[in-house]
Structure 1
């Protein structure tokens, strides 16, 4: 019998029962639909491509340290565990809490057990540098003459084998450069230097690795004492308390090179800029890229998004600790700019001759090379990008075998957007005129065969005879 909807007790009861029934049915339908939606999304939503991709671990070397002689080392931690128990990189990490893991699979209790200044040649699988020659004199030292020109020229990573002796390269302008960097920091603050709260472990690790390098490569100038808590810098006649001075500030006050620390974000597997000290950026500053992922940092680089972004993200996700790499970029400038930013100078232009290009000559030109190192830190898993700007008078290229013809072809036939990124138009015209003449002179002098097919040199990023020139410049 159909329910009675009249307003007696029975009718009232029948009305409530039907309402409850309809509500229950609606809830069941909602739950079923929600469950279906979750299953559908799980099948159709693409997770971040590198969320379960982690770099090769070096946990196996823990057994080389006396602290772990009686510990059974688990060779590898499951990717799912690394994701679920990730040590955060977006806020201050709690290293006192056990069983949180870095992307390298190192647990927090293992990091604590390793302590300060473990042997990083063991942790990284990269040997310590050899000490400089006894004849090396910083007052005469000059940078190696980088000439990283290639033909055919196109945009790619251009990676080169890492040379363990050259992670930090000191030269005769050490005091001048250190003073200039200090002045820049005083004037521009966080446009030069910053560190996010999740970068503490990586900053300490980088400091320890670099100080170990300096003390072994330049023992006549750098040393550690008091159980590795005091740094002695003989070049600046300073001592630094490493227990009270922030690690990146120690490096800024000691090494005239730039460092950027990229950390893996535990939520998507991509690498983000979490700390940096950069004094040699021209046309930009590091603060513009704070906390940005790798691909957003390089939006200004020609063809990066279309040709390099995916491969670079993949490379960062898998880069091993024991295989650091070098590369070297270049540009031609008409002044020796150390740092400049449109964010600070509203009238900023790249060329010092923009108002009077007709006055520019090849004697005003400078070849700028940025010698770069890319390496992964063994415990934090941070990828550190290190670079130094090296300037040379453009006229030096005149006597360097094969270089004028090679660079002339790059400037003449290279892809337009890449070449305009390397130099402004008035600089390019003056450079090409000089290079064309110097290339012809080298053929006439018998330095270069007239039938040489212009291409990348075997000695790249240098040139034939570069060692002799470099030794001669230093008085060897």
Structure 2
């Protein structure tokens, strides 16, 4: 869930630090050769390697290192319509409140996929219907909001020159002096919208960001009391666990008071990481939960009784093959001028069915939803549906044994390709039209039409 994921992201970085350049190369080499051989205990291996990691990319106060810039990717709107996101598989065993954090390749800060237009349309609908329940800002977050808009705009123009066209360039934005005419006018070639971001702005910067990127954005700043506060947020897709209207202006201790193990294990590490993070050190990770829909604002698994009093009936009437994993793909980076920290989240759905031929994935999912940490099982509502899908998972596990994909005594541990699918062989450069599971019998699956029909509850 989104609020827990923000905490876990920071703690994971604090414990594990950032991969050195040499280790990234070693990871890629190992990743290309990965299969079932050499499966490792992820949590233990990351802990044991932490001391040996070099200072490259480690958090600190030196801002002299250059901020990474993206490499142009010459893809067209027609190509985006067939692209799949990177195939995240963030399943670990043993399952702990620490996790691997990877130095973010800035080319993948704001990725494209075939659901882009759907996400942008949903953002518009949610803003129109719910307003500041999902998108809000404080006066102290204005400078960070302007800088975020400028950062997102520049990134998208540089990374996707055929998707975002500059119609007018009025020069760098001058937020401090509000110089009229500075800024850009661009055309989003995917939605055909023209966005006039010259000063004075016609709408708040967060609304422009919402019309360009499919990610959710949180902006956090440090106040004189030494704590970090949420000062602005554009979060149409919290999944059900995060209301911006209830969190804006509050410090991270209050925001995460319901997160399992927060006070005992996470609180000090979080503030320490925020204090030391540099603009040149963006990172990424992913978390996950399970539901039986593709909703973006509130997934069915987190519906409250007043909106869905028949949750149990709803679950039992759903084919287990229709259950999916919602992966929360997250990044964290600091803005250089305002010093605000950007946390992004992008939900990606993968059906359990499309992962059925990936060795050990059904086994890992089954293990985690029944034997993971007790508070996490409760927090992610695993108990509400796990008995309904366990026979299905058992069938997939037996099928993998019968096909020779795994053996009955294959060690159940985090896969060496973590956090991605084992079959990925590229270095994530979107060759061959995106990432498509070669073993999935519904190749190039697309849940778009189904997702458009899934609005059922008043708090959709």
Contact kept? 1:139, 1:171, Cα under 8 Å: yes
Distance 1:427 1:132, change over 3 A: farther
> Secondary structure of 1:137's partner?
helix
C-alpha separation between the residues in 2 aligned to 1:273 and 1:214? 25
In the alignment, what sits opposite 1:226? 169
In the alignment, what sits opposite 1:446? 404
In the alignment, what sits opposite 2:196? 241
In the alignment, what sits opposite 1:295? 253
C-alpha separation between the residues in 1 aligned to 2:393 and 2:303? 35
Q: Which has the higher contact order (CA 8 A, sep 6+)?
A: 2
The alpha-carbon deviation at position 360 of structure 1 amounts to: 3.5
Q: Which of 423, 429, 442 pairs up with 2:387?
A: 429
The alpha-carbon deviation at position 157 of structure 1 amounts to: 5.3
> Secondary structure of 1:372's partner?
strand
The alpha-carbon deviation at position 449 of structure 1 amounts to: 4.0
The alpha-carbon deviation at position 153 of structure 1 amounts to: 0.4
C-alpha separation between the residues in 1 aligned to 2:143 and 2:250? 19
What is the number of equivalent residue pairs in this alignment?
A: 356
Q: Which of 156, 159, 170 pairs up with 2:101?
A: 159
More displaced stretch, 269-278 vs 209-218: 209-218
C-alpha separation between the residues in 2 aligned to 1:344 and 1:190? 20
The alpha-carbon deviation at position 132 of structure 1 amounts to: 4.6
Q: Which of 292, 305, 314 pairs up with 1:334?
A: 292
In the alignment, what sits opposite 1:348? 307
The alpha-carbon deviation at position 223 of structure 1 amounts to: 2.5
Structure 2: which 5+ runs fail to align?
A: 1-59, 171-182, 427-434, 446-460
Distance 1:345 1:124, change over 3 A: farther
In the alignment, what sits opposite 1:316? 274
Q: How does 1:151-300 map to 2 (within 5 A)?
A: 151-156=93-98, 158-224=100-166, 225-227=168-170, 228-243=183-198, 244-245=201-202, 246-265=204-223, 267-281=224-238, 282-300=240-258
Q: Deviations over 1:275-309 (max 9, x none)?
A: 00101121441111011111221122211221111
Q: Which of 413, 431, 442 pairs up with 1:455?
A: 413
Length-normalised TM-score, structure 1: 0.69
Q: How does 1:82-101 map to 2 (within 5 A)?
A: none
> Secondary structure of 2:330's partner?
strand
> Secondary structure of 2:91's partner?
coil
Structure 1: which 5+ runs fail to align?
A: 1-102, 107-121
Q: Which of 252, 262, 265 pairs up with 1:304?
A: 262
C-alpha separation between the residues in 2 aligned to 1:458 and 1:105? 33
Q: How does 1:47-126 map to 2 (within 5 A)?
A: 125-126=67-68
In the alignment, what sits opposite 1:115? none
The alpha-carbon deviation at position 314 of structure 1 amounts to: 0.9
The alpha-carbon deviation at position 159 of structure 1 amounts to: 2.1
Contact kept? 1:334, 1:353, Cα under 8 Å: no
C-alpha separation between the residues in 2 aligned to 1:459 and 1:136? 30
What is the aligned-residue RMSD (CA, Å)? 2.9
C-alpha separation between the residues in 2 aligned to 1:396 and 1:341? 20
In the alignment, what sits opposite 2:20? none
Length-normalised TM-score, structure 2: 0.71
Name the larger-Rg structure.
Answer: 1
In the alignment, what sits opposite 1:376? 334
